Amino acid sequence: MQHKSHIEEEIQLKKIFADLELKELQLKVLLDITQSINRNVKIDELFSIYENFLKNELKVGKLALYTYDSLAEDQSIHWKCSLFYGANPSMKTMDVSELLKDIKSPQTIGASHKALNDFAYVLPVFHKEQPLAYLLIGNIHHAELDYNEDILPFVQLITNIILVANENKRFAKEQIKQAELKKEMSVAQRMQMMLFPVSFPEHPSLEIHGTYLPHHRIGGDYYDYFQINEDEHILCIADVSGKGVSAALLMSNFQANLHALVKHFTTLETLITDLNTCVMKSAHGEKHITLFMALTNTKTNVLTYINAGHPAPILANEKGIHLLKTGTTGLGMFDELPFLSLGYTRITPQCKLLCYTDGVIEIENNKDEQFGIEGLEKFMVDNSHVKSLPELHANLIETLKTFNNYRPFLDDISLLSCRCRS
């Protein structure tokens, strides 16, 4: 009996010493990991400490750590094998998202998971509701320790610490990146707004008004006005294919070229041809610009225009509604414009010209029906009594909001109008 009691005491002492050794080891690895996290080391260094602890201290013979690599647009998680040793190499490419998706807590790998029979335990790691990793371990040689009680909870803990720290670092980097992008976009937005005229000059025969409502912080819409002489004025509205910073940069370049060329204005044909060359040099055929440009002559009461692939402006006068379509292709689509025609129309007292970008007519209602040219023509008929251009624009924007059921617009809204006073 005494011999048996002595053996039991030795076993108990061994267990106590093993527990003490484990606690000391746990404290050491926790200290190493937390210090490394505080030093902001790369994830590979954290994984190295982690692997050394499992492989050399806990004597884990087989290991596979699967971590999510990215979150796709469809919200599905893509996985990669971040650590692996001791097991069948074919398991590195295993689809853990399907195989382990129902495992929410540490558990023994049973016979039902035949694809995982190289391993003894699976430990899932979650951050809130999102799975960050699945750790598979097996072929364990540390006989003095109870893995279910002594080891697995701690291994899950340090796995969680490392991966959550990495997730937080990734999130912090993303936040910094977003802040920098927001700052850059804010600067670019201010530059974009500088392209538009702050105000239009008063003229006894002509009233001009513009409105710009950007959907993106950076858009590709643009309108402008130039007085050539006492009687002649140029109005233009343009839109770059695509959106974002690249569209804004192209439009900024276009505006600079237009301001330079209009100083030496001779004819609309020459100006449009030169602008097409400029756009081709800037965009290399990757983007194009639609443009409507009109030359008004308040002495002869003639409006001469070129529509370069732009949505047709509406001229409303006592005879009704007229769409100004004559012109050419969008600028930057061809090295040389394949055709070019001038459009002419009379401008009569109180007639109104409404120019716009495609964001206006492409607005949809709850039935996915577009506002369209027909909606714009009807609006101009219904508002034929309105003389004030700011009021006309305000009425149109309210009409578009009502049609869209006050949902956010999906594109930029640009309006440029002129009215003959007499």
Question: pLDDT in tens for each of the 422 residues of the chain?
Answer: 555 566 666 667 666 666 666 677 777 877 888 888 888 888 888 888 888 888 888 888 899 998 877 554 555 557 888 899 988 888 888 777 777 877 888 888 877 777 788 888 888 888 777 788 889 888 877 655 555 566 788 888 888 888 888 878 888 888 888 888 777 777 767 777 777 888 888 888 889 999 998 876 677 889 999 999 989 999 999 999 877 777 888 888 999 999 999 999 999 999 999 999 999 999 888 899 999 999 999 899 999 999 999 999 999 998 899 999 999 999 999 999 999 999 999 998 889 999 999 999 999 999 999 999 999 999 999 999 998 999 999 999 999 999 999 888 888 899 999 998 76
Final residue before a domain boundary, out of 127, 143, 174 = 174
How does DSSP assign 82-126, residue by residue?
EEEESS-GGGGG--HHHHSTT--S-EE--TT-GGGTT-SEEEEEE
Q: Residue 225, exposed/middle/buried by CB under 10 A (0-12, 13-18, 19+)?
A: middle
Final residue before a domain boundary, out of 109, 144, 174 = 174
Q: Which two tokens stand for residue 24?
A: 């000391």
Q: Are residues 306 and 170 in the same domain?
A: no
User: Residue 50 belongs to what domain range?
Assistant: 2-174
Residue 180 in any domain: the answer is no
Q: Are residues 166 and 198 in the same domain?
A: no
Q: Are residues 281 and 244 in the same domain?
A: yes
User: Residue 46: what residue type?
Assistant: L
Q: Are residues 119 and 244 in the same domain?
A: no
DSSP alpha helices (H): ranges in 146-220? 152-193
CB-based contact 303:295 (threshold 8 Å): yes
The closest alpha carbon to 394, from 371, 378, 363, 417, belongs to: 417
Q: Which two tokens stand for residue 122?
A: 């699976």
Q: How many domains does the chain have?
A: 2
Query: Measured in whole angstroms, how far is the alpha carbon of residue 240 from the centre of its chain?
Result: 18
Q: Are residues 406 and 259 in the same domain?
A: yes
CB-based contact 347:386 (threshold 8 Å): no
Say which CATH number the domain at 353 has: 3.60.40.10
Query: Measured in whole angstroms, how far is the alpha carbon of residue 198 from the centre of its chain?
Result: 29
Residue 188 in any domain: the answer is no
For the chain, the distance separating the N- and C-terminal CA atoms, rounded to the nearest angstrom, is 123
Those residues whose C-beta lies under 8 Å from the C-beta of residue 270, and which sit 6 or more positions away, are none
